[in-house]
């Protein structure tokens, strides 16, 4: 019957982050002792002050449909957040609240891309960017980077990738999967190139904004002449440990926000009312309220880097943000380990799953086929055990 499915779904790859997480769950259910470092999901609980806001909302009988673009009070709180943290002036009409940043990104792609348009993706990039572009029948164009330049692209590379068909470029800093952060200076240099191409729109995905170990966060839309064509995406999942609450949002030029609301109004309508009420409390909280999680992530990052660094053949950089390590493991290509031929990152990731019981995600899914992604949003105990097992398999 699969032939009856649309070309659209048949051409869509499965999300590798979600697939690997599902595989790890399946193996665990079979009784295997799997350590899952696949999914980018904080292992903390949502802070009590946010949970209490949700409980209060239930008791206050928040149960009706919400405005498609979100409660006005929430949109106002988001405007304040953008001003407070990002030096960005948005009005509530420029804000759309969605069911996770993933929906925010899908909305933007749906309302801006036509078939045949090109979307530039500095690689490595989050798995769903390419799939979302493909759904819009747009063509995604990877701009490669490597661990040697901290997984960042140069202005020259950006310029070389631009064609008359380029409609959008997706930036993501701090980056999933590499953890790299573009400084203000680096972003301004990229903006200099885009100044020459006024028809290109910029999606700036800042979902990992607060998971930052010391580089000052800079929002692309804060560049004066980029504001009118940049859509800033953010959400609550990562910094507030609220992945399952599904709250994402955008700040955008009003006409784009309006189009996203129209799109969302035909697909999902406004996002969950209780989650939105809790979100008012979360976005209004200053980032220091979640600093304890960031400190813990940083300490885990350092532990994992220290341990992985002792394994010959694993090449590392120091991720400045997010909660992923993205080692280059290409030194193992062409080797046979535990009777398994390692041709690429997919094989390597499968080797770790089958022989070390450690779930990772292949870099191929992120447009970086020499790497794998390991999430360190897991307990220190699990992380130490995971690296120990990896070392045993590789030695
Ligand atoms: N963004 C997270 C990740 O990259 C969650 C899974 C997903 O939606 O892709 O692991």
95 backbone φψ class: left, alpha, beta (φ>0; ψ -120 to 50): beta
> Can you tell me which atom of ligand 1 is nearest the CA of 375?
10
Do 251 and 78 form a contact (C-beta atoms < 8 A)? Answer: yes
pLDDT of residue 72: 98
Q: Which residues line ligand 1 (CB under 6 A)?
A: 15, 17-18, 39-40, 102, 126-128, 176
CA of 59 to the centre of ligand 1 (A): 32
Select from 17, 209, 244, 374 the residue to mutate for testing ligand 1; criterion: most ligand atoms less than 8 Å from CB. 17
**Mean pLDDT of the 354-362 span:** 96
> Can you tell me which atom of ligand 1 is nearest the CA of 38?
10
**Mean pLDDT of the 206-223 span:** 97
Three-state helix/strand/coil letters over 65-76: CCCCCCCHHHHH
**Mean pLDDT of the 217-245 span:** 97
> Can you tell me which atom of ligand 1 is nearest the CA of 100?
8
**What percent of the chain has pLDDT above 90?**
94
C-alpha dihedral sign at 185, 190, 195, 198: negative
Q: Which tens digits make up the pLDDT trace of 44-100?
A: 999 999 999 999 999 999 999 999 999 999 999 999 999 999 999 999 999 999 999
**Pick from 248, 189, 198, 264: nearest CA to 227:** 198
> Residue 19 — pLDDT band, cuts 50, 70, 90?
confident
Neighbours of 299 (CB within 10 A): 12
CA of 61 to the centre of ligand 1 (A): 32
Nearest CA, atom 1, ligand 1:
40
- Rg of the Cα trace of the chain? 21
pLDDT of residue 167: 98
CA of 18 to the centre of ligand 1 (A): 7
Q: Which tens digits make up the pLDDT trace of 259-277?
A: 999 999 999 999 999 999 9
pLDDT of residue 2: 64
Domains defined for the chain, CATH in brackets: 2-45+290-394 (3.90.1150.10), 48-285 (3.40.640.10)
pTM of the complete model beyond 0.85: yes
* CA of residue 95 relative to chain centroid, distance: 20
Q: What is the C-alpha separation between 394 and 356, in angstroms, rounded?
A: 9
> Residue 347 — pLDDT band, cuts 50, 70, 90?
very high
pLDDT at position 158 over 70 = yes
CA of 168 to the centre of ligand 1 (A): 22
CA of 243 to the centre of ligand 1 (A): 9
> Residue 113 — pLDDT band, cuts 50, 70, 90?
very high
pLDDT at position 126 over 80 = yes
CA of 246 to the centre of ligand 1 (A): 12
> Residue 40 — pLDDT band, cuts 50, 70, 90?
confident
**Mean pLDDT of the 153-177 span:** 98
**Mean pLDDT of the 215-230 span:** 97
Do 176 and 206 form a contact (C-beta atoms < 8 A)? Answer: no
Neighbours of 185 (CB within 10 A): 8
pLDDT at position 103 over 90 = yes
> Can you tell me which atom of ligand 1 is nearest the CA of 102?
8
Q: What is the C-alpha separation between 176 and 180, in angstroms, rounded?
A: 8
Q: Which residues pair with 372 in a beta bridge?
A: 362
**Pick from 364, 365, 317, 366: nearest CA to 343:** 364
Q: Which tens digits make up the pLDDT trace of 305-334?
A: 999 999 999 999 999 999 999 999 999 999
CA of 195 to the centre of ligand 1 (A): 32
**Mean pLDDT of the 176-198 span:** 98
DSSP SS3 for 245: helix
């Amino acid at each position: 019957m699969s032939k009856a499915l649309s070309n659209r779904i048949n051409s869509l790859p499965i999300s590798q982050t979600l697939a690997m997480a599902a595989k790890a769950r399946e193996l665990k259910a079979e009784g295997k002792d799997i350590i899952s470092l696949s999914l980018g999901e904080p292992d903390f609980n949502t802070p009590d002050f946010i949970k209490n806001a949700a409980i209060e909302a239930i008791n206050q009988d928040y149960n009706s449909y919400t405005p498609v673009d979100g409660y006005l009070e929430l949109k106002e709180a988001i405007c304040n957040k953008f001003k407070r943290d990002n030096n960005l002036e948005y009005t509530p009409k420029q804000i759309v609240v969605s069911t996770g940043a993933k929906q925010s990104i899908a909305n933007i792609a749906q309302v801006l891309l036509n078939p045949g348009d090109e979307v530039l993706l500095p690689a490595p990039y989050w798995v769903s960017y390419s799939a979302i572009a493909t759904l819009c029948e747009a063509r995604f164009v990877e701009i490669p980077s490597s661990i040697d330049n901290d997984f960042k692209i140069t202005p020259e590379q950006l310029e070389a990738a631009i064609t008359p068909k380029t409609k959008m470029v997706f930036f993501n800093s701090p980056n999933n999967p590499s953890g790299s952060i573009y400084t203000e200076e680096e972003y301004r240099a990229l903006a200099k190139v885009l100044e020459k191409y006024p028809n290109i729109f910029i999606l700036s995905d800042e979902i990992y904004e607060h998971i930052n170990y010391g580089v000052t966060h800079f929002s692309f839309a804060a560049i004066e002449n980029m504001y009118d064509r940049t859509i800033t995406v953010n959400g609550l999942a990562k910094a507030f440990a609220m992945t399952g609450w599904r709250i994402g949002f955008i700040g955008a030029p009003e006409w784009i926000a309006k189009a996203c609301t129209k799109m969302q109004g035909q697909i999902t309508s406004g996002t969950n009312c209780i989650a939105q009420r809790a979100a008012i409390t979360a976005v209004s909280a200053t980032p220091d309220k979640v600093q304890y999680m960031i400190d813990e992530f940083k300490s885990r990052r350092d532990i994992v880097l220290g341990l992985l660094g002792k394994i010959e053949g694993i090449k590392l950089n120091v991720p400045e943000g997010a909660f992923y390590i993205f080692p280059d493991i290409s030194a193992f290509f062409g080797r046979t380990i535990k009777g398994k031929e390692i041709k690429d990152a997919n094989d390597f990731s499968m080797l770790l799953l089958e022989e070390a019981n450690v779930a990772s995600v292949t870099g191929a899914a992120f447009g970086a086929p020499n790497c794998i992604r390991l999430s360190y949003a897991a307990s220190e105990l699990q992380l130490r055990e995971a690296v120990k097992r990896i070392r045993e398999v590789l030695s």
